[in-house]
């Protein structure tokens, strides 16, 4: 089995805390979304956005990168919700990702990119990822690919993701758009579920 090393948009969804806070239900003030009875706070979402904006401002192409990512809030919220859905589906299937797997992918990414600086630049430009968001993104990709392999096809895996999303009773604050339960996406965001899988030597950061 080839290790997957492609990057996708995924904020440091599990590393940044607290992303999910106890909620009695509903998108009350200060809530970006409610997933499985837990709320994604607007402050947690903004922290993800700020990390990327800070990295962009430090880049030599800061102005262009910021201009090209006007919808960053929605994009990040989309990934935060989808990560919760993926975690639920993976848990239902008894799947997990360990530290060793993440480290192996990281090593391959660094080798291909040519170093930390080059990898960070590519992730920021191509996938809107700040440096501290790379590990969670790698975990997302590995867990997603395991889910696809577990069910034998993308269609079956997507069906399970849809079931997990339904079970989580997702509600989104209207200011960020409308949640599409059929596509498992927020508004017109692109879905990262179906992407080309690559060998380590072919992998490159990829936006979603």
When pLDDT is cut at 50, 70 and 90, the band that residue 195 belongs to is low
Question: Does the pLDDT value for residue 23 go beyond 60?
Answer: no
Q: How much is the pLDDT for 189?
A: 72
Q: How much is the pLDDT for 128?
A: 95
Q: How much is the pLDDT for 187?
A: 83
* Structure-block tokens of residue 49: 């956005």
Question: Does the pLDDT value for residue 18 go beyond 50?
Answer: no
Q: How much is the pLDDT for 60?
A: 86
User: Mean of the pLDDT values across residues 147-168?
Assistant: 95
Of 132, 131, 144, give the one whose Cα is nearest residue 95. Answer: 144
CB atoms under 10 Å from CB of 71, counted, come to 15
CA gap 12, 19 in Å, rounded: 9
Question: Does the pLDDT value for residue 145 go beyond 80?
Answer: yes
Among residues of the chain, what percentage have pLDDT more than 90? 71
Q: What is the pTM of this model?
A: 0.80
User: Mean of the pLDDT values across residues 188-197?
Assistant: 64
pLDDT tens per residue, range 60-82: 888 999 999 999 999 999 999 99
Question: Does the pLDDT value for residue 37 go beyond 70?
Answer: yes
Q: Name, in order, each residue with C-beta under 8 angstroms of 43's C-beta and a sequence gap of 6 or more.
A: 30
User: Mean of the pLDDT values across residues 28-34?
Assistant: 90
Q: Are 66 and 54 in contact, with CB atoms under 8 Å apart?
A: no
Label residue 59 exposed, middle or buried (CB < 10 Å: 0-12, 13-18, 19+). Answer: middle
Higher pLDDT, 200 or 28: 28
Q: Are 34 and 25 in contact, with CB atoms under 8 Å apart?
A: yes
pLDDT tens per residue, range 85-117: 999 999 999 999 999 999 999 999 999 999 999
Which CATH code fits 20-186? 1.10.4030
* Structure-block tokens of residue 109: 């990414």
User: Mean of the pLDDT values across residues 1-29?
Assistant: 41
Q: How much is the pLDDT for 205?
A: 43
């Amino acid at each position: 089995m080839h290790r997957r090393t492609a990057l996708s948009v995924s904020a440091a969804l599990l590393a940044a805390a607290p992303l999910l806070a106890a909620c009695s239900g509903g998108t009350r003030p200060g809530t970006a979304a409610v997933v499985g009875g837990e709320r994604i706070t607007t402050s947690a979402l903004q922290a993800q956005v700020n990390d990327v904006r800070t990295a962009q401002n430090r880049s030599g192409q800061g102005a262009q990168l910021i201009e090209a990512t006007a919808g960053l809030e929605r994009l990040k919220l989309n990934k935060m919700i989808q990560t919760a859905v993926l975690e639920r589906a993976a848990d239902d299937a008894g799947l997990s990702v360990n530290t060793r797997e993440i480290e192996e992918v990281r090593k391959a990414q660094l080798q291909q990119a040519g170093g930390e600086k080059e990898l960070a630049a590519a992730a920021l430009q191509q996938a809107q990822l700040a440096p501290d968001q790379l590990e969670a993104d790698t975990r997302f990709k590995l867990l997603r690919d395991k889910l696809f392999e577990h069910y034998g096809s993308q269609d079956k895996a997507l069906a399970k993701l849809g079931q997990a999303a339904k079970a989580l009773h997702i509600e989104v604050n209207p200011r960020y758009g409308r949640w599409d339960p059929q596509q498992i996406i927020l508004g017109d965001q692109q879905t990262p579920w179906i992407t080309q899988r690559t060998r380590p030597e072919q992998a490159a950061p990829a936006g979603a």
